[in-house]
A and B are shown apart, each in its own frame.
Chain A
Amino acid sequence: MNNINLDEYIKVNIGPSHPAMHGTLRVIAWTDGETVMHCDPEIGYLHRGVEKLGESFTYHQFIPLTDRMNYCSAINSNVAYEAAVEKLMGVEIPLKAQLIRTIMCELARIADHQVCVGILGVDLGAFTPFFYLIIQREEIYEIFEWYNGARLTNTFGRIGGVENDLPADFDARWKELKPNLFKSIDETDKLLTHNRIWMDRTIGVSAFSPEDALNWGFTGPCLRACGVKRDLRKDEPYYQYANFKFDVPVGKNGDVFDRYMIRMQEMHESIKIIDQAYEMYKQLPPDAPLMAKVPKIIKPPVGEVYSSHETPNGELGFYIKSDGTDKPYRIKVRPPCYMIYQAFPELVQGEMIADLVACLSSLNVIAGELDR
């Protein structure tokens, strides 16, 4: 807001309860006609004090709280938290658990990207692709439901491994799901990517330079859309990601269109990863261990740790400080969209109000994760 006299402009309040503001986000925009001159996002409407609660819970009890952060892909949050505690304890989980986590994480990533792309379409007035994607997302949720009974708040995995093996008919379900996923992505691609209206509404909207993106702490698809090739699955490989062949799609301009394209391509890459992980999984004996040897009451040694995973939105990190008791002394979540959303005033400055909505959906800001 360099040297802008805000009193000259009309103040428009958008949200926190508004169909276009995903969840409970509030933006106060100062507008000149329809142009946004400056805006001030206000967050905290969904602040539930997860970090404070975590200090009074045991390590295992915190896992359900991580479900409620990014509710579009809860499994990724669960796994990122479990991995942080495992790093703190110095536990290496068995290969089979790693592969099951990988498969589930990538399924959740596809589901998350489907929601993001679908909602982006809805916000820009393209309602049809949303249904193509959401039908297949429902099928992914069927797999989650049949794995442990929950669709959205999965509470997947345990510290030291996973609770269940993949049931025997995963093979059949995946064979049925895979072509449908391809089909839904393909149909969306045909409906949107080369659509004149879609291109006009997305190309060049809220473009961001890679330098700015790094300065603001962007990670995940939003950073890759700016042209920076950074993916924790490649750069700091965890589990078996180093052995899988997959590409990291990179954009160029960092605009809404590039973010959309990155997400579309990443869904294809995730399907590739699931295939390879499942091949590897099939080589393992059926009675291979699912859990590492961890005590029933988890008391990690004194110290602090920072561990991060690549979730659909970017780098989700957990900073955990342990004082040797069964409860964490301090848990800090580093949500990916928190960092991305703080650059929002800079992203939408000079854009139209309608583009503000498009920009917000393309960032995939999840209020649960943002406010914790």
Chain B
Amino acid sequence: MEIKGVAEKLLAGYIVNISERCNDIIIEVDSRNILKCLTILKNNENIAFDFLVDVVGVDNSQYLLKKDKAKKGEEPAVEAPKAPALPRYEVVYLLLSLQHNKRLIVKARVSEDNMTIDTVTSLWKAANWPEREVYDMYGIKFNGHPDMRRLLMWDEFKDYPLRKDYPLEGKGEKRALIYE
């Protein structure tokens, strides 16, 4: 069955971009419509993406910048190239249809000015921790999430470590032990 065609028809009007690479179909939708789109994909009987594999956050602020630098040689790429065109963050939903044994990747971009996106915990309980982790690592808040706390880092931690501007060696934070 041709997932790409069916999904394209179902999500007509919502799709920003659709591409295919290494047998993975990647659909990009607007972040405001993410819950609507995933509900359609889950409940439609023809494709029935009823299994959420994972939710991934990506910080695109340095994507493809290094390559430009290497091409130009010595010049440091100081001036921000085409940065405002795309919102900085990306939330990627990896879906699986158990009936048809097909996979699909759905993406939504989240801009820095409005770091929120709707939660999909109402569709899949499996989204609970992955969404908390995206919040923990990138600071993207999920509207309507039942338990929006940090997951892997401790509660007093201020930064969002997987952002590209957070240094690998940390900022010298010390673990503050606060007893209740």
Residues of A whose CB lies within 8 Å of any CB of B are: 43-44, 47, 49, 51-53, 55-56, 87-88, 90, 212, 214-217, 228, 230, 235-236, 302-306, 308, 315, 317, 319, 321, 323-325, 329-330, 332, 334, 338-339, 342-343, 371-372
Give Cα distance in the complex from A329 to B62, angstroms. Answer: 9
B22: A residues at CB distance < 8 A: 87-88, 90, 303, 305
B116 at the interface (CB under 8 A from A): no
The answer to whether B128 and A319 touch across the interface, beta carbons within 8 angstroms, is no
Report the nearest A residue to B65, measured CB to CB.
A323
Give Cα distance in the complex from A217 to B24, angstroms. Answer: 20
The answer to whether B63 and A214 touch across the interface, beta carbons within 8 angstroms, is no
A342: B residues at CB distance < 8 A: 125-126, 128-129
B side interface size, CB within 8 A:
38
The answer to whether A315 and B67 touch across the interface, beta carbons within 8 angstroms, is no
B58: A residues at CB distance < 8 A: 321, 330
| Among candidates B50, B125, B168, residue contacting A53 with C-beta atoms closer than 8 Å | B168
How close is A232's CB to chain B, nearest CB, in angstroms? 10
- Looking at chain A's contact residues, the main secondary structure is mixed
Give Cα distance in the complex from A88 to B22, angstroms. Answer: 7
Residues of B whose CB lies within 8 Å of any CB of A are: 21-22, 24, 26, 50-54, 56, 58-59, 62-64, 66-67, 70, 92, 94, 98, 101, 103, 105, 124-126, 128-129, 137, 151-154, 161-162, 166, 168
Give Cα distance in the complex from A364 to B67, angstroms. Answer: 42
Answer whether A52 and B53 are a contact pair too, CB < 8 Å, given A306-B103, A334-B94.
no
A87: B residues at CB distance < 8 A: 22
B166: A residues at CB distance < 8 A: 52
The answer to whether A319 and B101 touch across the interface, beta carbons within 8 angstroms, is no
The answer to whether A324 and B24 touch across the interface, beta carbons within 8 angstroms, is no
The answer to whether A215 and B125 touch across the interface, beta carbons within 8 angstroms, is yes
The answer to whether A343 and B125 touch across the interface, beta carbons within 8 angstroms, is yes
Report the nearest B residue to A212, measured CB to CB.
B125
The answer to whether A323 and B66 touch across the interface, beta carbons within 8 angstroms, is yes
| Interface hub of B62, B63, B94, B152 (most chain A Cβ within 10 A) | B152
The answer to whether A56 and B126 touch across the interface, beta carbons within 8 angstroms, is no
The answer to whether B63 and A329 touch across the interface, beta carbons within 8 angstroms, is yes
| Among candidates A44, A216, A228, residue contacting B151 with C-beta atoms closer than 8 Å | A44
B51: A residues at CB distance < 8 A: 214, 217
- Looking at chain B's contact residues, the main secondary structure is mixed
| Among candidates A47, A230, A332, A343, residue contacting B152 with C-beta atoms closer than 8 Å | A47
How close is A314's CB to chain B, nearest CB, in angstroms? 11
The answer to whether A325 and B66 touch across the interface, beta carbons within 8 angstroms, is yes
The answer to whether A230 and B94 touch across the interface, beta carbons within 8 angstroms, is no
B126: A residues at CB distance < 8 A: 215-217, 339, 342
Give Cα distance in the complex from A321 to B70, angstroms. Answer: 19
Give Cα distance in the complex from A339 to B126, angstroms. Answer: 7
Give Cα distance in the complex from A308 to B152, angstroms. Answer: 23
The answer to whether B152 and A44 touch across the interface, beta carbons within 8 angstroms, is yes
The answer to whether B26 and A44 touch across the interface, beta carbons within 8 angstroms, is no
A217: B residues at CB distance < 8 A: 51-54, 124-126
Report the nearest B residue to A330, measured CB to CB.
B58
Other A-B pairs, 13, CB within 8 Å; known A319-B54, A343-B125: A51-B162, A52-B161, A52-B162, A214-B50, A215-B124, A217-B126, A236-B101, A302-B64, A304-B105, A306-B94, A330-B58, A342-B126, A342-B129
A305: B residues at CB distance < 8 A: 21-22, 24
| Interface hub of A216, A321, A330 (most chain B Cβ within 10 A) | A330
Give Cα distance in the complex from A230 to B97, angstroms. Answer: 12
Give Cα distance in the complex from A55 to B124, angstroms. Answer: 29
Give Cα distance in the complex from A303 to B161, angstroms. Answer: 23
The answer to whether A235 and B101 touch across the interface, beta carbons within 8 angstroms, is yes
| Interface hub of A236, A303, A339 (most chain B Cβ within 10 A) | A339
18 contacts between A and B (CB under 8 A): A44-B154, A47-B153, A52-B161, A52-B162, A214-B98, A216-B126, A230-B98, A303-B22, A304-B21, A305-B22, A315-B53, A317-B53, A321-B58, A323-B64, A325-B66, A330-B56, A334-B94, A343-B125
Give Cα distance in the complex from A212 to B53, angstroms. Answer: 14
The answer to whether A324 and B92 touch across the interface, beta carbons within 8 angstroms, is no
A338: B residues at CB distance < 8 A: 129
B101: A residues at CB distance < 8 A: 235-236
Give Cα distance in the complex from A11 to B71, angstroms. Answer: 60
Answer whether A52 and B168 are a contact pair too, CB < 8 Å, given A217-B124, A338-B129, A343-B125.
yes
The answer to whether A323 and B63 touch across the interface, beta carbons within 8 angstroms, is yes
Closest 7 CB pairs of A and B: A217-B126, A44-B152, A342-B129, A334-B54, A332-B56, A47-B152, A303-B21
